[in-house]
Every structure is written in C-alpha cells, then in structure tokens.
Chains A and B, each alone.
Chain A
Amino acid sequence: MTASAPVIDIRDVSRTYGEGPPALADVTLSVRAGEALAVLGPSGSGKSTLLNLIAGLDRPSTGSVMVDGLHVDELGEAASAKYRRAKIGMVFQFFNLLDDLTVTDNVLLPAQLAGMPRAEARTRAGDLLESLGIDRHARAYPGRLSGGERQRVAVARALMNRPALLLADEPTGALDTASGEDVRELLAELNADGQTIVLVTHDLGLAESCATRTIELVDGRIVRDVATLTVNR
C-alpha cells in the first residue's frame, strides 16, 4: 500500500435501526494512510455507528465499507474477527481492559488470538510497554493503574498486531485533564510515526491537537470535512 492509498473507503453508506431515522445517511468517506481523522458531532449523530462499521462490528443497511482493500461489509462473523485481529486496533473510552489479566497479559491478547509465536509476542509486548512508558506496570493488574496509564495499556494492546488502522472511541472521555493530555500526546506521536487513526470524540481540543483532518456528523450526515491545523505536533 502506498502512502497515499486510501485505508478506508466508505461509499454511500446508510445504517438504519428498525423504523427510526437513519443513524447514518448516505455517508461517503475516504481516509488515506497516515491520516488522523477526528469524527466530531453531538450525541446520537452517528459517530459510534461509523466507528462500528469500520471495525466490522456492524453492517451498513446500504453502501459499502472497504478497509485496507477488504470489503468489511461482506465479512461473516469469523472473518470479521480475523479482520479486526489483522487490521484494526481499538481504544475505548473506558479502556475495556480485562480486570483479571495483568497488563502484559492484556497486551498479549491480540497476538495470542492471532497465533503470533510466543517469544515474538512477548518481545513485542515488552517493546510496546517500554515505548509507552508503562513497562514498570507489566505485572500489575489494571485496577491498580491510573486512568491515563490504563489508556496507555489499551493503546499498547491496540498496537500489538501492528494494525493498519487505529480506532479510538472517546479515548480521553473518562480521563482527568492531565491524563487526557498524556493520551493526546501519545496519539499525536503515533500519527507522527505514520499510524493511521480514526478518532471519535466530543473534545474539540483533542481533535485539533491530534487530527490531520476533521469531519463533523449531524443526524447521520457529514456536515463538515476539513483539514486540521495541529498546533501541538
């Protein structure tokens, strides 16, 4: 894949649930490799639906979703799981770490599910924890870490399989200001290193500091799509 090839290619996607209004309506969106896209919008505007469609957690009612050359909307449950292992890293607002696994074991999970050799996985996890500054917590359980540290663990886990795309859903939404700033810097650094990121957030500051491009959704439609000046990069 070349640097300018689209990692995400969404065409005429709509998603409706039951009889209600569409969560997404005729959305067409293309994200190129190396971009950091921030998706803004009020609650119920379709941000999470868009993220779920890209992650293969949901299917569009109409239209197509292609990620890194794969028709995500055509994948079955098992293929979709394998797709997430190989292509996607996910970071959530509430971290979604497994409380009864150590930090290392949490980070190792995607590699183990993908069948990565044990030694290679351990080396990779160690490198990630070190590079994210949380290697001293490797044997700790998530419940003992601060919010920012937990989100760093979540990011390490998301990056474990070297995904083509990092999806972050309100990654600073559950963090205090200092921790939020910490995560913001981390995401900016990752993007600077070439990681493609799709970031769903309410936080305009986060979008401005991390994203190279911002779209705004209102009632399931893209109402704004602009390049972002990232002052902190």
Chain B
Amino acid sequence: MSALGRVVRAGVGRRRVQTAVMILTTLMAVTASVLAAGLLVASQAPFDHAFAQQHGAHLTGQFDGTKVTAPQLAATAHASGVTAAAGPFRTLSLRPRTTSGSDPLPAGADLPPMTVVGRASAGGPVDDTVLVDGTWATRPGQIVLAYGGLPLRPGAQLTFPDLPGSPTLTVVGVARSVTDTAEAWVAPAQAEALTAQGSTATYEMLYRFRHAGTDAQVAADRAAITAALPRGAMTGSQSYLTVKLQAVANTMAFVPFVAAFGVLGLLLSVLIIGIVVSGAVGAATRRIGILKSLGFTPAQVVRAYVAQALIPAAIGCVLGVVCGDLLAVPVLGDAGSAYGAGSLTVPLWVDVAVPAAALALVACAALAPALRAGRLRTVEAITVGRTPGAGRGRLVRRLTGRLPVPRAVSLGLANPFAHPARSATMAAAVAFGAVTVTFGVGLALTLGAVQSGRMLNSAGSVVVATGGGQQGPPGAQVVHVGGEPDAPKADPAEVTAALRTQKGTRGFYGTTQAQVSASGVTGATTVVAYQGDSSWGAPEMVSGAWLTGPGQAVVSTRFLRAAGIQVGDTVTLTERGRHVSVRIVGEAFFTVGEGMELLTPTSTLAALGLDSQPSRFNVETEPGTDLAGYLASLNASLDPTGAVAFANTSGTSDLIATMDALVGMLTLMLVAVAGLGVLNTVVLDTRDRVHDLGVLKALGMTPRHTVAMVLTSVAAIGLLAGAAGVPIGVALHAHVTPLMGDAAGITLPPSAISVYHLPDLALLALGGLVIALAGALLPAGWAARTGTATALRTE
C-alpha cells in the first residue's frame, strides 16, 4: 500500500465516530434519493413503454349519434393537430349476466354496466390493442373482454337480459388497451345488432396528436375537434394523461415527500461531511505538519483528506442504493404488471447516477477544508499541538460569568462563541433536524387527515344496515347471485321511524348505491345516493357546495379530471336507456372507490328507474350518549324490521400506512444524522477543550457539573436552531403536500394542509433542543469520565 493509502486508512480508522456519521448521513441521503428518483422513473416506464408500443390514444372521445353522423366524425381525423385517428366505433352501455360459472363469478350473476365497442380488428393506427388470450371477435356471437376487467376467460358466456331476445355472446379473447378505450369489444355488425331499437346511437373516436405532452395541449387538441363538430356532439372525453395518472397515482404520491427527504438528506450530508473534514483538519494540524515534513506535497495532503471523506461516503452510497432499491419494491408493487412489464425495480442508471452525484457533492464538501490542510505552512503546523481558541468569545465569556447561574452553566453558555463557525454548522445540523421533524410530523398529521376524510361512510358513530341483497358499502360492486333468495330488505320508512323515536339520536341520513354509466368516464360509475339531511356527514369540500336538492352531484377532483369537466358542468348518467343529467355543484375530498364515485340525492336513482331506497343509515348520537346502551335499545326497536344497528368503524388504507411508515423511517434517519452531526461537533469541541476540562476538574468541577457544562453549550444553539427550523419545516410541508395531492390526482382540503396548531409548533420548536441535547449527551458523559490527570497531560 502506498504512503498516501496508509495515511488515508489510518485517518478513517482513527476517527470511528466521524466515519460512522459520514456513512450514516450518505446512507440516508442516497436511500431517499434513490427511492424518489426510482419511483419517479420506474412507475411511469411501463405505461410510457406500452403507450408507445400500442400507439395509445391521446384522447378517447364519446359522441352523441343524434347530433353527429359517422362521416362527420371520420372527418375529424383531419382536424388541426391530429396525426392519427381510429373510428368512429359504435359504443353501447350494456348490463351483462354470467351464464357459465367460474371461480370468481358464479352463473347467473348480474354484473355492472360495461362499455362495449364495435371494432373490426385489434390493431390499427391508434390503440393497437394486444391480445392477451384467445382471438379477436370477428363474427356475431363473439365478444372480447378488456384485460383487468371481468375475470372471465375465453369460452365463458355472457347474456344481456335487458336487450330484446336476451342475446348471448361467447368470450373469444382478452385484450389489453393501454388507455382503457373499452371494457369489451364486439364485431361492428354485432354492435349494430345489440343496439336496442329506439335507443340513441353513440360513437367513440380515438385520436393521436402532434403535441400532447400536457393537459393544456390535450385540451387544445380536444377543442380543435369539438370546433369541427356540431355543438354538443362530444358527450365526453378521456385524456391519456388521466389514465396514466390513475395508473401511477399511488406510486407518484410518494415522490414529492421522498424527494424532499432526499434533498434534506443531501444538504445535511454536505454539511456534516464539511464539519467532519474541517474538524479533522483542525484537530490534526500537527499531523499534517509531520506529513509535510516527511515529504508529502500539498496535493497529496488534499487528496488524503478528500479520500478520508469519500471512503465512508462510498460505503454509505452502496448501502443507500441497496436500501433504496429494497424500499422501492413494496411501493412500486404491481404497478408494472398492469402493462405486462412484470414487477418493477429501480432502473440501473438511477442506482449509478444518484450515488455518483452524492459522491461528487461529498468531494466538493470535503475539498474546502482539505485545501486548507494543503495550504498549511509546515513549520507552523508542526509547532502547533492543538488549535487554540484565538481569543474568540472572550467578551461573551466575561458577560456570562456575571450571570446568576452556576459557573458550569455560564461556562457552557459561552462555549459556542469560542468557535463561531463550528457552532454555526452545529446550529445548521440541528435546524435540519428540526425542519425534518416538523415536516415529518406535518406529513403524519396530513396523512391522518386524509385517512379520516377518505371514506364516505365514516360519519356518525352508528350505522344501521337494512339488509337485503343489495346491501354493501359504498363503492363495492353489487352482484346479485342466483340460488338462495336474498334476505328481505328492511323497510326504510320503518327504520327512519325507529331512529326518530330513539332517545339519543341527534341526526341521520340514508344512502344507497348503484352502478351506472357516466358521460366522459369509461366503465361503470358507482353512484352513492343520499337521502335526508346529510350535510353533517358530508365529505370535506374542496370547492363548490354540498348537495342541497335534486339534480345535483358532488364528485372528487379525480373524477373531474377523468371526465374533463369542472364544477358547474353537467354529467349525464345512463341506465338501461334512461338518461339523467346532474349538475356538479361541488368538488369534495374522498379517495374511496379510487375517488371516482359520484354523490347525488336518491332522486337521481329514482329518475334512472333504480332502487332509491336507503340500504344504510349513518346516525349521529347526542353528545354523552352511551353507545352500547343506544345500540342495544335501537336494535330492540329495529328487530321487527330486520335492520341491524352497529358501531361505525372505518378501515385503514394500506397505502397511507405504507406512507406513514416511510415518513417515520426517513424522519428518524434524518434526525439521527442531525443528532450525530451534533455529537461529532461536540466531540471535536470536547477534544479541543480536554485540557481545560482537566483544569476545571482539578479545581473541583464535579462530573455532573461537567455534563451540565457540555449540555448547556449546545442547549442555546438547540433552542435557537429549533425555533428557526420549525417555520422552514412548516413552509416545506405547505409546499410538498399539495404536490402529493396533485401527483395522486386529488386536491387536498385545507384541513389536511393546515395541520399545525400553536401548541404543536411550540413542542416542535423544542425538538431542536432535544436533538442538540441527545447529540451532546454521549460526549458530555465522555467529558465527565475523562481522567483529570490524563486531561491535564493532554496538549
């Protein structure tokens, strides 16, 4: 091994605490950065790849056949900005029933409505669908199902009891459309045959555009198409960006906050490595002098000190890449399988680029103090045993000496002023820790708010279920299975009467649900219908207002984006040939049912000819009501009706639990690194002062006083840096959480963003003090245990 190599190895081995700190800090920074970059890149890759391969449709348009003809639609292929088009295809919304049994679906199951498209072939210039199983439907009596939809394989049969003659079709294939342009395909002639007499013809057109990278560009392209058609001809459209967002939303929601942790980690790494190398140079002035006197050139000295930072940083990088890759596995989950890409992993280039960037940053951070070491004059360095305080902070020491506090405390208070630069870096480390804690706590509070607000059925402490075959929570797929008859449904009027007379009832409302077709949205839409005064149990509104009368609807941001509409617009609901238009009066926050449910009064279902009687009641009890007693009494009243009352409990989201765990882990890691930064600085400071410590102990300073002095020396820094870090953490949280919502396609309500309250902030401000004290505790103990005689001999 070369002389330089031996010097580097000895330097790394001698400063074990500092080496461990550098490994940990780079480990944390690289873990978070690899995870953030990996999620960002890997989650989108399968969709992008499949979209390019299948010539996916940038826009899927639905058209009203009464307002536009097929030739007019075909002519839109030449509209401005359109590079390719497919269609028009005849579309139908049909309710199938299984006629053959399979593992997941028994024979005779009524299924939700599905969008069936008449299309001659799987391929084409747009939406070149991939046959996953079987063949394409080319003859009457055949149907191809969309991959990921109904769990049926070729050979299964579906009948359509709502159509004249209840035609039966045989599943001949399963195909994958990257932009979900249909839930099933049939031959064009079959589509004509399935169209009920007197029903309105509807069409689908698929477009690719020259410019479609952003929502605005797609919107402009859409406008060009609608301008070429009669007014009102386009009843709905779906951008590929919406489909992509829905595909990657869950994964993408991780990216903003993990990236924020990554940036914090990298900044903290640079700071800590700067502190460590700077401290190493300061503490080894004589050693540097000896090396130079032995013939080391300034460049060799610089290389030696940069290498002493790069070696532990490289270890941290390797470990960070491994941790980042492992953490990405559960987060990416089955995001890739939807497009046949298999399980996703972090791309190799991310595993190389992130640590390379981290090492470059580390080298830059180490270079400044290393250059200082290289510039040290040999004769001066060799005659200096330790770096003296150079008389800094004497005035403060005199002033603190007059404070009416124990001398150990006043000495500790003045210590930070002896090494202002070192104290500033320690303050920065503590501030980073405080920022992280504030940010992490804020994220946890936001996720808690999202958790409690995401469900629609969590209002009230009691739920009354009316029973019957249509019973199920909002969002569940309601399937009527043949065989045993369903239990009779309780009469909602009797349930309402029982609730009104029950002592302790403060308020209640009923809900039921159905699945219908909604304009602008592919596939069935779950409608949750409300009866009674539901304002007290309404989801949190992002914009607009809650339901106040018939013909209204409330949806989430994700629904608005998917349908390409906004509050004030109208959505047409279709069920068995009946159409009802509802006006969107509000944008609410909820994520249940992927946020794609439509909330409306029960009158909407009645207008569609569906059962509008509530199947569930959410009940709010008077404050102070004994829940067990209330339930016992209510159930006794409800017993004759067949309804059952039970306590309302909401489930938890695995996604939010995963986010919570990740936030907790990254926060702990960053705080630990910040604490280690403090520890490293206090170790340096204590080593510098070991001789003075010996003097003080020889004069009668007890171990407890020594600990008090060391802890006091960081307490003020901890308090000030903590107080400075909290507003930065709050600002970071306010910036990142809306981005998380955007990435997930939802708008977070103000209550989920403004999560900090004054007492919380006061406690968080004390976090800096806790980090500083925790970091200083170990060196304080070491200082207290240091032998006086040994310390007095130390120079």
Q: Which residues in A have some Cβ–Cβ distance to B below 8 Å?
A: 48, 52, 55, 57-58, 77-78, 81-82, 84-86, 90, 92, 96-102, 105, 108-110, 112-115, 118, 141, 143, 157, 161
Which residues of B664-706 have CB atoms within 8 Å of chain A's CB atoms? 691-692, 694-705
User: B696 contacts which chain A residues (CB < 8 A)?
Assistant: 98, 109, 113
A-B contact pairs, 26 of them (CB 8 A): A48-B789, A52-B789, A57-B788, A77-B785, A78-B703, A78-B704, A81-B697, A81-B700, A81-B703, A82-B700, A84-B700, A85-B700, A90-B699, A97-B695, A98-B696, A99-B391, A100-B394, A101-B397, A102-B398, A105-B401, A108-B401, A110-B700, A113-B700, A113-B701, A118-B404, A143-B391
Given contacts A57-B698, A90-B699, 18 further A-B contacts (CB under 8 A): A52-B789, A55-B698, A77-B702, A77-B784, A78-B703, A78-B704, A81-B705, A84-B699, A84-B700, A85-B699, A92-B792, A96-B691, A97-B695, A98-B696, A102-B398, A109-B696, A113-B700, A157-B699
Instruction: Tell whether A100 pairs with B699 under 8 Å between CB atoms, given A57-B789, A92-B792, A113-B705.
Output: no
Chain A residues near B704 (CB, 8 Å)? 78
Report which of B391, B406, B418 forms a contact with A141, defined as CB distance below 8 A: B391
State the CA gap A109–B409 with chains docked (Å). 12
Which residues of chain A are near B406, meaning CB under 8 Å? 112, 115
A7 CB, min distance to chain B CBs, angstroms: 18
Cross-chain contact A81 with B701 (CB below 8 angstroms)? yes
**B407 interface residue per 8 A CB criterion:** yes
Instruction: Establish whether residues A101 and B388, one from each chain, have CB atoms under 8 Å apart when the complex forms.
Output: no
Known: A58-B789, A100-B394, A102-B398. A109 touches B699 (CB 8 A): yes
Contacts of B391 in A (CB 8 A): 99-100, 141, 143
Task: Assess whether B699 is in contact with A113, with CB atoms less than 8 Å apart.
Answer: yes
Smallest beta-carbon distance A61→chain B, Å = 15
- The reply to whether the CB of B340 lies closer than 8 angstroms to some CB of chain A is no
Query: How far in angstroms is the closest Cβ of chain A from B209?
Result: 73
Nearest chain B CB to A57's CB is how many angstroms away? 5
Interface string of B322-347 (1 = CB under 8 A from A): 00000000000000000000000000
Question: Once bound together, how far apart are the Cα atoms of A38 and B567, in whole Å?
Answer: 98
B393 on interface, CB distance cutoff 8 Å = yes
B787 at the interface (CB under 8 A from A): yes
- List A contacts of B418 (CB < 8 A): 100
The interface residues of chain B lying within 8 Å CB-to-CB of A108 are: 401
The 9 A-B residue pairs whose C-beta atoms are closest, nearest first, are A85-B700, A112-B407, A81-B702, A78-B702, A96-B695, A57-B789, A84-B700, A57-B788, A113-B700
Contacts of A86 in B (CB 8 A): 700
Most chain B CB neighbours (cut-off 10 Å) among A81, A105, A112: A81
- Given A100-B391, A141-B391: A77 and B703 interface contact (C-beta under 8 Å): yes
B167 CB–A CB distance under 8 Å: no
The docked-state distance in angstroms from the alpha carbon of A55 to that of B703 is 16
**Does B389 touch A at the CB level, under 8 Å?**
yes
Are A101 and B401 in contact (CB-based, < 8 A)? Answer: yes
Indicate if the CB atoms of B692 and A98 lie closer than 8 Å: yes
* B186-213, CB < 8 A from A: none
- How far, in angstroms, from A52 to B418 measured CA to CA in the complex? 30
Given A58-B789, A78-B703, A113 and B407 touching (CB < 8 A)? Answer: yes
- B386 CB to nearest A CB, Å: 12
Chain B residue with Cβ nearest A77: B703
Chain B residues lying within 8 Å of A78, measured Cβ to Cβ, are: 702-704
A17→B284 CA distance, assembly (Å): 29
Pairwise interchain contact A100-B698, C-beta atoms closer than 8 A: no
B775-792: CB near A (< 8 Å → 1, else 0) gives: 000000000110111001
Contact in complex: B698, A84 (CB < 8 Å): yes
Tell me, in angstroms, the Cα distance from A170 to B459 when the chains sit together. 83
Across the interface, do B407 and A90 meet the contact criterion of CB distance under 8 Å?
no
User: What residues on B are CB-neighbors of A48 within 8 Å?
Assistant: 789
Most central of A48, A113, A118 by chain B CB within 10 Å: A113
- The chain B residue with its CB closest to the CB of A105 is B401
B665 to chain A, nearest CB (A): 39
> What CA separation (Å) do A68 and B700 show in the bound complex?
17
Are A96 and B702 in contact, CB atoms less than 8 angstroms apart? no
A110 touches B699 (CB 8 A): yes
Q: Which residues of A contact B695 (CB under 8 A)?
A: 96-98
A81 vs B697: C-alpha distance in the bound complex, in angstroms? 7
Q: Which residue of B lies closest to A110 (CB)?
A: B699
Residue of A nearest to B706 (CB): A81
Question: For B388, what are the chain A residues with a Cβ–Cβ distance below 8 Å?
Answer: 99
Which residues, 384 to 417 on B, are CB-close (under 8 Å) to A? 388-389, 391, 393-394, 397-398, 401, 404, 406-408
CB-contact partner of A105 in B397, B691, B698, B787, under 8 A? B397
**In the complex, what's the smallest C-beta–C-beta distance from A174 to chain B, in angstroms?**
13
Which chain A positions have C-beta within 8 A of B401? 101, 105, 108
Complex CA–CA separation, A57 to B793 (angstroms): 12
Is B701 within 8 A of A96, CB to CB?
no
What CA separation (Å) do A63 and B401 show in the bound complex? 41
Q: Which residues of chain A have C-beta atoms less than 8 A from B705's C-beta?
A: 81, 113
Q: How far is the CA of A105 from the CA of B692 in the complex (A)?
A: 14
In the complex, per-residue mask of B400-438: 1 if CB is within 8 Å of any chain A CB, else 0? 010010111000000000100000000000000000000
CB distance from B391 to the nearest CB of A (A): 7
With CB as the reference atom, state the residue of chain B lying closest to A96.
B695
A97 neighbours in B (Cβ, 8 Å)? 695
Nearest CB in chain A: distance from B671 CB, A: 32
Interface-centre pick from A55, A57, A82, A102 (highest chain B CB count, 10 A):
A57
Cβ of A136 to closest chain B Cβ, rounded Å: 18
Residue of A nearest to B391 (CB): A100
A107 to B741, CA, bound (A): 64
Minimal beta-carbon separation of B107 from chain A (angstroms): 85
- Complex Cα–Cα for A161 and B389 (A): 28
Closest to A143 in B: B391
* Distance in Å: Cβ of A41 to nearest Cβ of chain B: 18
With a CB–CB cut-off of 8 A, which chain B residues contact A113? 407-408, 696, 699-701, 705
Is the CB–CB distance between B389 and A100 below 8 Å? yes
Cα of A55 to Cα of B408 in the assembled complex, Å = 21
A86 to B404, CA, bound (A): 22
Closest to A167 in B: B698
Q: How far is the CA of A101 from the CA of B699 in the complex (A)?
A: 15
- Report how far A57 CA is from B701 CA in the complex, Å: 12
A126 to chain B, nearest CB (A): 15
Chain B's closest residue to A115 (CB) is: B406
Nearest CB on A from B94, distance (A): 87
- Do A82 and B789 touch (CB < 8 A)? no
- Give Cα A52 to B695, complex, Å: 13
Q: In the bound complex, what is the Cα–Cα distance between A98 and B391 (angstroms)? A: 11
Residue among B401, B695, B703, B784 facing the most chain A CB atoms (10 A cut-off): B695
List of B residues within 8 angstroms of A141 by Cβ: 391, 394
Most chain A CB within 10 A, of B389, B391, B698, B701, is at B698
Q: Tell me the bound Cα distance from A105 to B402 in angstroms.
A: 10
How long is the Cα–Cα vector from A55 to B699 in the complex, in angstroms? 10
CB contacts (< 8 Å) of B699 on chain A: these are 84-85, 90, 109-110, 113, 157
**Smallest CB–CB gap between B695 and chain A, Å?**
4
In the complex, which residues of chain A have a beta carbon less than 8 angstroms from the beta carbon of B787?
57-58
Interface string of B111-152 (1 = CB under 8 A from A): 000000000000000000000000000000000000000000
Nearest Cβ in chain A — how far from B789, in angstroms? 5
Residues of A close to B691: CB separation below 8 A: 96
Complex contacts, A100 vs chain B, CB 8 Å: 389, 391, 393-394, 397, 418
In Å, the complex CA distance between A48 and B393 comes to 34
Inter-chain contacts of B408 with A (CB < 8 A)? 113
Shortest Cβ gap from B229 to chain A (Å): 84
- Residue in A closest to B692 when the chains form the complex, CB atoms: A98
Interface centre among B404, B784, B788 (most CB of A within 10 A): B788
